[in-house]
């Protein structure tokens, strides 16, 4: 560290040049995060010093967090759901399975997840000492319930379904998983980190949330399609009994106990999530999702003209495209400023149509996609 402090002007100019090296979202088709809604940014700034790790000092912020959880609960089929605002999908998934593990006493616990599950479950295996068993997918990349059943044994503590899979945007048959979970008395966690703010607003209805009896907990992230600021994940439990296995005594705080994984945590993120949810309302989110789905349809229509057909008809705003010479295509597109991603199996180009994508950018992408394809063929 320098001995003498720099002027604010100098520091801000250092920041500006660093920020210039960041990629603006305009040409990013690989991210599940997006430009937060301006009202979320304002709320975030207003609560910048608020710490929900010691919420006895921040009872106003705590009330907002409780309201966010109620809003999310009602959106996800359970008005009375409880939980808290986490740092994101990873923390929510960790905490859900930590609860599941602590609720039962198994020497070598295992959980069954779809093989499409996010890599946060590999972190969970390592952190929590839980074996993570990966079930096969069907032809449409949904988890195969038969495969899930075949992996369950006496040491299984939980099942996981994904509603909006990271790579394909697919929704697992949560009702089938719930039947299995209920018949075997297992905890069922639904990872809707991405889908939680998409699926409720799609024209087609899916059974994926607490409206399905047997679903115990849900991950749904305001900092993805919820249009809120980073870091905001949501962890929801159907009932309070699931929170107590996470409880830790906090003798020297203004509060008696903590349930969160982190100690000090952002009150700004909770305030921002509250602000954007109240401001947009269901109609606002519906409009955003409708636009993303229209752009998604346009993307599919555009690439189909070049003879490329998506692996599945997109369920939400994620498209996976089997392209010849995948790495060559991604490199060429990257040279034109486009950021794309991949699916692992089968390998394909993965594109996420987030709210930051403009109509003009999408048309430019389709044109570039066609030209790159022609150059490589």
Contact positions vs ligand 0PR (CB under 6 A): 30-33, 88-90, 93, 118, 120, 162, 166, 191, 193-194, 221, 233
CB of 320 to ligand 0PR, least distance (A): 13
CA angle 241, 93, 104 (to 5 degrees): 45
C-alpha distances in angstroms, 347 versus 271, 358, 377? 39, 27, 18
* Cα separation, 296 vs 286, whole angstroms: 15
CB of 352 to ligand 0PR, least distance (A): 8
The values of phi and psi at residue 186, to 5°, are: -110, 150
Copy the structure tokens of residue 263.
């100690």
CB of 120 to ligand 0PR, least distance (A): 5
Nearer to ligand 0PR, 84 or 194 (CB): 194
CB of 208 to ligand 0PR, least distance (A): 12
Nearer to ligand 0PR, 318 or 373 (CB): 318
Other C-beta atoms closer than 10 Å to the C-beta of 104 total 15
Nearer to ligand 0PR, 99 or 120 (CB): 120
CB of 370 to ligand 0PR, least distance (A): 25
CB of 218 to ligand 0PR, least distance (A): 11
Nearer to ligand 0PR, 88 or 310 (CB): 88
Residue located via tokens 């109620």: 70
Dihedral angle over CA of 55, 56, 59, 63, nearest 10: 50
Nearer to ligand 0PR, 291 or 356 (CB): 356
Cβ proximity of 312 and 140 under 8 Å: yes
Phi-psi region of 29 (alpha: psi -120 to 50; beta: other; left: phi over 0): alpha
Nearer to ligand 0PR, 289 or 373 (CB): 289
CB of 24 to ligand 0PR, least distance (A): 13
Q: Which residue in 236, 231, 202 sits closest to 33, CA to CA?
A: 231
Nearer to ligand 0PR, 349 or 373 (CB): 349
* Cα separation, 55 vs 337, whole angstroms: 44
Copy the structure tokens of residue 362.
């999408």
């Amino acid at each position: 560290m320098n001995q003498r402090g720099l002027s604010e002007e100098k520091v801000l100019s250092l920041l500006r040049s660093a920020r210039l090296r960041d990629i603006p979202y305009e040409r990013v088709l690989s991210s599940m995060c997006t430009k937060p809604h301006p009202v979320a940014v304002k709320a975030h700034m207003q609560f910048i010093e608020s710490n929900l790790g010691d919420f006895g000092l921040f009872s106003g912020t705590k009330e907002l967090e409780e309201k966010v959880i109620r809003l999310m609960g009602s959106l996800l089929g359970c008005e009375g759901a409880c939980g808290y605002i986490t740092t994101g999908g990873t923390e929510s998934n960790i905490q859900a399975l930590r609860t599941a593990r602590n609720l039962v006493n198994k020497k070598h616990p295992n959980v069954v997840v779809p093989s499409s599950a996010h890599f946060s479950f590999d972190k969970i295996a390592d952190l929590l000492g839980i074996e993570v068993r990966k079930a096969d997918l069907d032809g449409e990349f949904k988890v195969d319930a038969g495969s899930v059943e075949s992996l369950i044994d006496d040491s299984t503590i939980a099942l996981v379904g994904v509603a909006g899979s990271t790579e394909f945007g697919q929704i697992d048959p949560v009702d089938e998983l719930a039947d299995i979970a209920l018949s075997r008395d297992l905890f069922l966690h639904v990872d809707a980190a991405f889908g939680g703010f998409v699926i409720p607003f799609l024209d087609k209805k899916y059974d994926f949330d607490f409206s399905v009896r047997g679903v115990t907990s849900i991950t749904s992230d305001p900092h993805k399609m919820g249009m809120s600021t980073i870091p905001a994940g949501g962890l929801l439990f159907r009932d309070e009994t699931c929170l107590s296995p996470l409880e830790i005594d906090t003798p020297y705080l203004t509060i008696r106990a903590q349930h969160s994984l982190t100690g000090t945590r952002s009150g700004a993120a909770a305030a921002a999530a509250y602000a954007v949810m109240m401001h947009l309302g269901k109609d606002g989110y519906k409009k955003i999702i409708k636009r993303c789905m229209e752009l998604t349809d346009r993307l599919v229509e555009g690439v189909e003209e070049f003879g490329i057909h998506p692996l599945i008809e997109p369920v939400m705003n994620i498209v996976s495209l089997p392209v010849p010479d995948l790495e060559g295509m991604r490199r060429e597109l990257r040279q034109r400023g486009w950021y794309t991603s991949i699916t692992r199996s089968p390998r394909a180009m993965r594109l996420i149509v987030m709210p930051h994508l403009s109509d003009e950018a999408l048309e430019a992408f389709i044109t570039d996609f066609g030209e790159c394809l022609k150059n490589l063929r």
